Amino acid sequence: MKETQSEINEFLIENHITDSEIEKITSEKLNYKDKILRCPRCQSGKLRIEKVEWTDTDEFDFPMLDGLMGKARYKDKVICNVCGYWLTDPNNEKGFSMWNTIKKLFKKN
């Protein structure tokens, strides 16, 4: 890994690329003209779309009634395959990680 980093640093020095230029390039959002759904974090179009049974409801509503009658409602869960960002999370599954719990504790204080 250090070898790769040193090769990248050598390339940047040889081509006279400064830290400010790198920051400018990486901070720009690309405006794609196609209609493909893209990740807002990394702009990748490589998304994993899964149909999941919708179970996270806050009140007594239709999904709950449908579940009691044996019918299930499905929604799309969309996750970026490149950076792991969750575009949609119908059942709020991503909120139960240890890291997110620790961040919430520090934000409250």
**Which amino acid appears at position 11 of this protein?**
F
Strands (E) in 1-109, as ranges, are 47-53, 74-80, 86-88
Judge whether 63 and 54 are in contact, CB under 8 Å: yes
Residues whose CB is less than 8 angstroms from the CB of residue 55 and which lie 6 or more positions away in sequence, other chains included: 63, 67, 91
**Which amino acid appears at position 3 of this protein?**
E
Judge whether 90 and 63 are in contact, CB under 8 Å: no
Query: Using one digit for the tens of pLDDT, what is the confidence trace for 15-65?
Result: 998 888 888 877 776 677 777 888 888 888 889 988 887 776 555 556 556
pTM above 0.85, yes or no: no
